[in-house]
Structure 1
Amino acid sequence: MARRGGELEAFIAFLGGLLAAGLTALAMAGVGLAVRPTPALKAAAMVTLGTVWLTVTTTVYLRLKPRNG
């Protein structure tokens, strides 16, 4: 009997994206200790974090999603 839905895959992908964004944030915090962040740099960091989270989440989900056929 095949499992349907994809909820488990979606949850794993969400956690993978969260982990990737968290690691990126830690790296950015380390750089922020060495370089004085400006408001523009902070805004770019937020956009980067959102992009990393979305990209990793989508990629992991599509790789885990069962293929038809």
Structure 2
Amino acid sequence: MARKGGELEAFIAFLGGLLAAGLAALAMAGIGLAVRPTPALKSAALVTLGAIWLTVTTTVYLRIKPRSS
């Protein structure tokens, strides 16, 4: 019996996006310890993290979603 939906795939993609954004945030925090971040740089970092999360989540979901036969 084939499974319908895509909830599991969506959840896995969501977690993958969170993992990628979390790793990027850790890297940015490490860089922030060495360089004094300005408010503009902090805003750019938040936008970058959002873009990373969205891109990775969408890419993972499209690669693992069930294919219609």
TM-score w.r.t. length of structure 2? 0.97
Hey, what does 1:43 align to over in structure 2? 43
Partners of 2:61 and 2:4 in 1: CA distance: 14
The alignment of Structure 1 onto Structure 2 pairs a total of residues equal to: 69
Q: Give the distance between the partners of 1:68 and 1:8, measured in 2 at CA.
A: 16
Runs of 4+ residues deviating >3 angstroms: none
Q: For residue 26 of structure 2, what is the amino acid of its counterpart?
A: L
The CA distance in 2 between the partners of 1:39 and 1:67, in whole Å, is: 44
- Among the aligned pairs, what percent are the same residue? 86
Q: Which amino acid aligns with 2:58?
A: T
SS at match of 2:58: helix
Cα drift, residue 68 of structure 1: 1.5
Matches within 5 A, 1:24-43: 24-43=24-43
**RMSD between aligned alpha carbons?**
0.5
Give the alignment of 1:1-69 within 5 angstroms.
1-69=1-69
Stretches of structure 2 that go unaligned for 5 or more consecutive residues are: none
